[in-house]
């Protein structure tokens, strides 16, 4: 799994003009899933996301996690995170998991994040054409890869 985590002051997801998810203060998480991903990858990543201390404390240091600031999550599935651009100018998405594998893991990630955070999270709709609006706070953006746990 690959995740792009953006600290935001607000964010929303629209599909055909309708808001499917909206948050204030928290994370937008763009999530890419590949065929090799497992529940172990999912659990590791969910723990990392929820416990990531990238909110400012009283001294202005990044020292607080989502729970410390009553933060929220907007989770968006994004297969394009596994784009391969080595050959030519048209990306290949062959590493991205197909829906029969990706949808159950995406749904499990929603459940895992909600359980760890102790509240509902906002989402897009898997496979939909989504319009994401956000105000990146900082800006703070973190990229994580479950196949490279030693570096995260």
Residue 116's nearest CA partner among 25, 27, 30 is: 27
In contact, 21 and 12? CB cutoff 8 Å:
yes
In the chain, % of residues over pLDDT 70: 99
User: Could you tell me the domains of the chain?
Assistant: 2-151 (3.50.80.10)
Residue 121's nearest CA partner among 112, 132, 130, 134 is: 112
What is the reported pLDDT for 68? 97
What is the reported pLDDT for 152? 65
Among candidate residues 38, 80, 141, 146, the one labeled active-site is 80
- pLDDT, tens digit, 9 for 90 and up, residues 69-107: 999 999 999 999 998 888 888 898 988 999 999 999 999
- pLDDT, tens digit, 9 for 90 and up, residues 6-21: 999 999 999 999 999 9
Active site annotation includes 80: yes
151 has pLDDT over 80: no
Alpha carbon dihedral 127, 96, 139, 90, in 10-degree steps, equals: -90
Mean local confidence (pLDDT), 122-133: 96
Task: Categorise residue 118: left if φ over 0, alpha if ψ from -120 to 50, beta otherwise.
Answer: left
């Amino acid at each position: 799994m690959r995740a792009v985590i953006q600290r935001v002051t607000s964010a929303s997801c629209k599909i055909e003009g309708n808001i499917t998810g909206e948050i204030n203060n928290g994370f937008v998480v763009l999530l890419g899933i590949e065929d090799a991903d497992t529940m172990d990858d999912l659990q590791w990543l969910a723990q990392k996301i929820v416990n990531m201390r990238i909110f400012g404390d009283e001294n202005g240091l990044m020292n607080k996690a989502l729970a410390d600031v009553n933060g929220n999550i907007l989770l968006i599935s994004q297969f394009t995170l596994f784009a391969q651009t080595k050959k030519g100018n048209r990306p290949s998405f062959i590493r991205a998991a197909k829906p029969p594998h990706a949808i159950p893991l995406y749904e499990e990630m929603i459940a895992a994040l909600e359980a760890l955070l102790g509240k509902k999270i906002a989402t897009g709709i898997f496979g939909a054409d989504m319009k994401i609006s956000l105000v990146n706070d900082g800006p703070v953006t973190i990229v994580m890869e479950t196949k490279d746990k030693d570096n995260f």
